[in-house]
Structure 1
Amino acid sequence: MNITLCTLFEKNYHYGVAALANSLIAAGYQGELWVGYRGVLPGWIVDSPAYDRASGRMPVGSGLVLRMQELDTPLHFTYYKPTFIREMLEKHSPQADIVAYIDPDIVVKCDWPSLCGWFSEDGISLAEDVNWCFPARHPKRLLWARFFAPHGITPRRDLDRYYNAGFIAVSRAHLDFLDLWRRLCDLVVEYNEGAKQLKAGGSAALFHSTDQDALNFALTVCEAPLNTAGPEAMDFAPGGYYLSHAIGSLKPWHGGFVGHALRGRPPSAASKWYWKYANAPIRVYSDGELRKNELALNIAAAIGRVYRRA
């Protein structure tokens, strides 16, 4: 199988891109990581002698090549994922059998053979979300079905799990799924009267998790085989060894670990894994900055062993 990886970032999420790339190098991945971006590229990219401005190509060592792709879309990037994955398969990486999208707040924990063993040319690969239990007759699912029915979109199968949209691998055989997911995102954007927010309304809102809700309804409409792992695959539950996903608005590169720990919120597993891969071989921090953050993380972890919010 020929596999291409991609991600999307803007603003300070470039710190996450660097850690993701570093984790892929450590895993042994050799190939391209396409990086769709909006705004100004950071200095660790544009000032690197390895970066070619004309092509957006940047070899970063051990066979990994970053391919920077500037994007012009008013959409929040969370809605742009199905479009970007399709562009990979059709335009940027036409030789790929499978494209895997990985959010820039995720790092890879396992070796590459273990991760790519998750992929198949006949299926869609996913990990369950932090709130993974979502019965087939859940009230939200019933409401979604009523909302999409007038648009001619109806479920074809029952699912009892809710999947995270931060990681998804789609094979060329399922371009129609990407079109469906994109169409549902468009309908959600129209319903929420805006395309710039990640979350909409409160938890009871019809589409609170926006593109992720659209993804989970799309999975009931398509009939592709699903290659799935539990919430532990993203460190949402103990025992995982594939990925670590730093969900929420506060990201590991924002720091503040000691202050959060003193308020009863110790550093997450994802924060610890981020700093494991934050600065090598791609360097985005000075040695002093790295030591300062690692020390703060260790102190916060020690506080967390004796004090945390109920």
Structure 2
Amino acid sequence: MKVLTTLAEGRYFLGAAALINSVVHHGTYIDKIVIGYRDELPKWLPELKPTANGHQFSLSMGVPVELIEMAGSLHMVHEKPNWFRYLMEELEPAAEEFFFFDSDIIVNARMSFFGEWVQQGVAVCGDINYVFSRRHPIRIQWAKLAETEGQLVKNTYDQYYNSGFLGWRREHNEFITDWNNAFQLLAPHSGGMKQFRVKDRTEMVLSANQDSLNVAMMITEVPTSTIGPEAMGFEYGLQLMHHPLGPKPWNRNFFLDFFKGMPPRQADIKYWENVNGPEFKPVKKHKVIWNILVCKAFRFLGRFYRKYGG
């Protein structure tokens, strides 16, 4: 059994709709979708049926989607390591493959590729800030902290990886334990877990969830298989996904941003092309068409008018 999971709250459900539409468009490899959520569920969801753990509906091709209300009070991004352990051990103990996508990601490639990828090891993507030397002072601090707690560094990396996607097989479940252990090491140094980020990159911890993923990769004995920042659309190349950093497409004022020198991103266009799709249509059709036209026009004009530098 193959399970796809994501986390959503508030307007991030619009992102989840676009994510699932894009997954279906590229061939459903997975057998089930599990969404961890907080706050109210959107009214545009299909009719829900109760399950032992939450609520459920099915996609048109029969794939069940289960919605599980999340406990915990951390910022949702910091719940990832614990959520994955809960998903694997409690919610889906029979599943063999797991795929996590942030709910603002759009999938651009056939889903079966992700299944092929996890046969090689835990699947991880490079971050936009990809270069992060093994001799980087922050990485050295991580290594020292890990070793003082009995976690020996077994792997060296010169790259930094993004926690917005993760794929793994049950036989590699020890990696999830390693990530939880690394998270517990870094969390006390984060400055607070109620916010996405508190400190800056000059500190040992910028983002506890993402930094701890990178520490887990340093201490794990589980094989990993990595693709660079192009996998999330941060660079040209094998753009398996588009992952918008910063303001989310559903929140942007494209007119105001353009005149500030910030034209739409390819990720913005991908979102508006997928938010209404084969499974969900949460946005009025005219609004979708308008935003696609605006994004494409301003993206073209952005070749001539944009903000550069600081």
TM over 0.5: yes
Query: Following the alignment from structure 1 to structure 2, what is the Cα–Cα distance between the partners of residues 64 and 21?
Result: 11
Which residue of the partner structure matches residue 32 of structure 1?
32
TM-score after normalising by structure 1 = 0.93
Contact 2:81–2:179 at 8 Å: present in 1 too?
yes
Match of 2:294 among 279, 296, 301: 296
In structure 2, relative to structure 1, the CA distance for the partners of 1:64 and 1:297 (3 Å cut) is farther
| TM-aligned CA deviation for residue 255 of structure 1 | 2.9
When structure 1 is superposed on structure 2, of 218-227 and 76-85 the one drifting more is 76-85
Alignment of 1:153-302 (within 5 A): 153-248=151-246, 250-281=247-278, 282-302=280-300
After superposing the two structures, state which structure 1 stretch, 284-293 or 226-235, moved more. 284-293
Q: Which amino acid aligns with 2:201?
A: S
Gaps of 5+ in 2: none
Corresponding position of 1:5: 4
In 2, the alpha carbon distance for the partners of 1:197 and 1:185 equals 15
Deviations 1:174-194 (A, max 9, x none): 322212211222232222342
C-alpha contact (below 8 Å) 2:190/2:206 kept by paired residues? no
Q: CA distance change for structure 1 residues 268 and 240 in 2, over 3 Å: closer, same or farther?
A: farther
- Is the 8 Å Cα contact of residues 86 and 178 (structure 1) preserved in structure 2? yes
Say whether the 8 Å CA contact 2:273–2:292 is kept in structure 1.
no
Is the Cα contact below 8 Å between 1:107 and 1:243 reproduced in 2?
yes
Question: Which residue identity is paired with 2:128?
Answer: V
Aligned residues with identical type, % of pairs:
31
More displaced 10-residue stretch of structure 1: 190-199 or 31-40: 190-199
* Cα shift at 1:14: 0.5
In structure 2, the residue matched to 1:305 is: 303
1:77: which partner in 2? 76
Tell me the CA shift for residue 17 of structure 1: 0.4
Give the SS at the match of 2:163.
Answer: coil
- 1:129 and 2:131 equivalent? no
Q: What amino acid maps onto 2:254 in structure 1?
A: F
Partner in structure 2 of residue 111 of structure 1: 110
Distance in structure 1 (CA, Å) of the matches to 2:58 and 2:68:
15
Deviation at 1:76, TM superposition (A): 1.7
User: Per-residue CA shift, 1:223-252, capped at 9, x if unaligned?
Assistant: 22111111111000012331111122x101
Deviations 1:34-64 (A, max 9, x none): 000011111112xx23x22445111122343
Other structure's SS at 1:164 match: strand
How far apart are 1:279 and its partner, in Å? 0.7
Is the partner of 2:262 in helix, strand or coil?
Answer: coil
Partner of 1:95: 94
Query: How far does the alpha carbon of each residue in 1:136-155 deviate from its partner, in whole angstroms, 9 at most, with x for none?
Result: 12111111122233222221
User: 2:191·2:198 contact (CA, 8 Å) conserved in 1?
Assistant: no
- Matches of 2:50 and 2:243 in 1, distance apart? 30
Out of 15-24 and 208-217, give the one that drifted further.
Answer: 208-217
Contact 1:110–1:242 (Cα < 8 Å) also in 2: yes
Distance 2:16 2:2 in 1: 18
Residues in 2 aligned to 1:222 and 1:257: alpha-carbon distance in whole angstroms: 43
Amino acid at match of 1:61: S
d(CA) in 2 for partners of 1:173, 1:77: 26
Residue in 2 aligned with 1:144? 142
Q: Residues of 2 paired with 1:81 and 1:257: CA distance?
A: 31
CA distance in 1, matches of 2:227, 2:2: 19
For residue 173 of structure 2, give the secondary structure of its aligned residue in structure 1: helix
Distance in 2 (alpha carbons) for counterparts of 1:63 and 1:111: 19
Is the Cα contact below 8 Å between 1:88 and 1:99 reproduced in 2? no
Corresponding residue number in structure 2 for 1:44: 44
- Please tell me whether the aligned partners of residues 200 and 210 of structure 1 are also in contact (alpha carbons under 8 angstroms): no
CA distance in 2, matches of 1:135, 1:255: 34
CA–CA separation in structure 2 for the residues paired with 1:83 and 1:192: 17
Partner SS, residue 79 of structure 1: helix
Letter of the aligned partner of 1:60 in structure 2?
Answer: L
Mapped to 2, the partners of 1:286 and 1:117 lie a distance apart of: 37
- Which string of whole-angstrom CA distances, capped at 9 and with x for unpartnered residues, describes residues 86-138 of structure 1? 22222222221121111001111011222322111x62101111111112121
Q: Distance in 2 between matches of 1:246 and 1:193?
A: 25
Is 150-159 or 35-44 further displaced after alignment?
150-159
Letter in 2 for 1:225: P
Q: Distance in 2 between matches of 1:93 and 1:53?
A: 17
